[in-house]
Amino acid sequence: MIRTREQARTGANTILAQIGNTPLLDLSDFAKAQGVVPSVGVFAKAEWANPGGSIKARAALRMVEEAESDGRLTPGKIIIDSSSGNTGIALALIGAVKGYEVHLVMPANVSAERKALVKAYGARLIESDPLEGSDGAIHVVREWVAAAPQRYFYTNQYNNPANWLAHYTGTGPEIWRQTGGSVTHFVAGLGTTGTFVGTGRYLKERNPAVELVAVQPEDELSVIEGLKHLETAIVPGIYDAALPDQFLGIAAEDAWATTRALARQAGLFVGISAGAAVHAAIEVAHTLRAGTVVTILPDDGSKYVSLGLFE
């Protein structure tokens, strides 16, 4: 079937129509093996089921389509952003489907798999100083946009309200529906913070008693792919500091250990930020006698194999 230009733009009859509505997996048996009482359920959204393999497809699609609707993104413009991996991969995929050139700034030390994936979708990869991390990539992309503002549409994921709105209208309602409204605790990592802010706002509106637990590395030296230590990083403009009910700092070693345990004990081959989120969710569950804890598995482990985590 030949797609019309309008179908490509809207995502109708394309892979983009498959973004969202990911499964909610029951991790209660895994949690019980870690000492969580049977009356507490632990669940996780399998976000690698999205096209592009991560939760970032949700925000990337909304940012692009809102810009198309209001005229900020028109044919001939180049989509550009900084990314440690997953948003970049999602933007590259969306650009391929919709016919936009995509430029992505990534720290030079991101995994080989992530570099290969953005190139596979046809995007141009621009590498930034590995020692400056995601903040350094942000500075580079801002320089490129400032030098040629008419050439680019800068998705600006850290400051674009479409990021959190994708989760307010998608991830949050899905969790509410999939748990039958029984969710008592939502646990999610802080990166761009869009997942936490959008999902958290929706759940709080449905039930103000839902506890929102924000997860980040325990300090600036604990490197957990996809998460930011907000106290020592550029704080995203979309972040709502009043939203979390609780913060949990996770050691990198604990995130890695839980990531490996999920593969070897639950058959879930997930990324490092997913390991951090599950570790935090189990910590929360240990404090409860009853409840339903929901967390996010942002991606699978395929982009991290070269880092040696699973050896």
Domains 17-49+171-307 and 56-154 share a fold: yes
Q: What tens digit of pLDDT does each residue of 196-227 get?
A: 999 999 999 999 999 999 999 998 888 888 89
Q: What tens digit of pLDDT does each residue of 3-13 get?
A: 444 555 555 67
| Maximum alpha-carbon separation in the chain | 58
Is 56 among the residues known to form the active site?
yes
pLDDT of residue 3: 46
pLDDT of residue 257: 96
- pTM above threshold 0.85: yes
Name residue 127's beta-bridge partners: 106
Confidence of residue 60 (pLDDT cuts 50, 70, 90): very high
Q: Which of 98, 115, 273, 303 is catalytic?
A: 273
pLDDT at 133 over 70: yes
The predicted model gives 47-58 an average pLDDT of 97
Q: What whole-number percentage of the chain has pLDDT above 90? A: 84
Q: Mean pLDDT in the chain?
A: 93
Neighbouring residues of 132: CB distance < 8 A, sequence distance ≥ 6: 107, 139
Cβ 22 vs Cβ 46: under 8 Å: yes
Pairing of strands 40-46, 24-26: antiparallel
| Nearest in space to 162 (alpha carbons), one of 197, 190, 134, 127 | 197
Query: In CATH, which of 2.60.120.620, 3.30.830.10, 3.40.50.1100, 3.60.20.30 is domain 17-49+171-307?
Result: 3.40.50.1100
Structural domain boundaries in the chain: 17-49+171-307, 56-154
H runs (alpha helix) in the chain: 5-10, 28-33, 56-70, 86-98, 112-120, 133-147, 161-166, 172-178, 194-206, 252-266, 272-286
Query: In CATH, which of 3.40.50.1100, 3.40.50.2300, 3.10.110.10, 3.90.950.20 is domain 56-154?
Result: 3.40.50.1100
Q: 3-class SS at 184?
A: coil
Q: What tens digit of pLDDT does each residue of 66-124 get?
A: 999 999 999 999 999 998 789 999 999 999 999 999 999 999 988 899 999 999 999 99
pLDDT of residue 187: 98
CB count within 10 Å of CB 3 equals 12
Q: CA 58, CA 171: separation in Å to the nearest integer?
A: 9
pLDDT of residue 4: 46
Name residue 104's beta-bridge partners: 81, 125
Distance of CA 1 to the CA centre of its chain: 32
Sign of CA dihedral 94, 98, 104, 109: positive
pLDDT of residue 8: 53
Q: Which of 28, 45, 56, 222 is catalytic?
A: 56
Is 273 among the residues known to form the active site?
yes
